[in-house]
Structure 1
Amino acid sequence: MKMYLISDNIDTLTGMRLAGVEGVVVHEHDELKEALERTIADKEIGIILLTEKFGREFPEIIDDVKLHHKTPLIIEIPDRHGTGRRPDFITSYVNEAIGLKL
């Protein structure tokens, strides 16, 4: 199975290509939707990497794919500017999940 990147900037795509991951750069709602449909149709792709910006700006598209397709696995990655999450994201996630303060 292959990985495929859908990015909002060329720098992230360039870095992933150096690691052997192909992909595409998109910016608009319709471009993202079309890229996801093409990628899901390719049965050789097992993991779709998305930059976090898409998860923040177009959550309805990402959630729809996650709910209606078992494969491929969708993973949101930080782009070259770093993550958009708080520094204590993992700790607060665990606190909410198990109800204990770490």
Structure 2
Amino acid sequence: MKFYLISDNIDTLTGMRLVGIEGQVVHTRHDFLNLLKEKMQEKDIAIILVTTKLIELAPDVISEIKLKQPKPLITEIPDRHGESKIGEAIDGYVSEAIGVKL
């Protein structure tokens, strides 16, 4: 099983390649969703890493996939620009799921 990166910038892709993770750079929602669909069909990919900026292009689709698809795991990663609100997103998911604001 392996990782795969879908990134919006070459810097993140270069860094991941240094540790052996292959990937591709895309910039549009259409290209992102097509590549994601393609990579989700590959049996040897267990985890797809996606930069925050791309997640923000299609949050509805990503949420649906995370709820309904057991594999591969789609994980949001911040890029070099920071500004990630992953912790807030997790709080929101938990609050919505259990009905208690954290």
Name which of structure 1's ranges 6-15 and 57-66 shifts more when overlaid on structure 2.
57-66
CA separation in 2, counterparts of 1:83 and 1:18? 24
1:100–1:68 CA distance, 2 compared to 1 (3 A): closer
Q: Which amino acid aligns with 2:10?
A: I
Q: CA deviation at 1:84?
A: 2.1
Q: Which of the pair has more CA radius of gyration?
A: 1
Tell me by how many angstroms 1:61 deviates. Answer: 2.1
Runs of 4+ in 1 over 2 A off after TM superposition: none
Q: CA RMSD in A?
A: 2.6
Give the drift of 1:55: 2.1
1:41-70 Cα offsets, whole Å, 9 max, x none, are 100000000001122221022123223321
Q: How does 1:87-102 map to 2 (within 5 A)?
A: 89=87, 93=91
* Identical counterparts, % of pairs: 47
1:76 aligns with 2:76: yes
TM-score normalised over the length of structure 1: 0.81
Unpaired stretches in structure 1, ≥5 consecutive residues = none
Distance 1:62 1:100 in 2: 23
Q: How many residues in Structure 1 have an aligned counterpart in Structure 2?
A: 98
Structure 2: stretches of 5+ with no match in the other structure: none
Structure 1 residues 41 and 83: CA distance shift in structure 2, 3 A: same
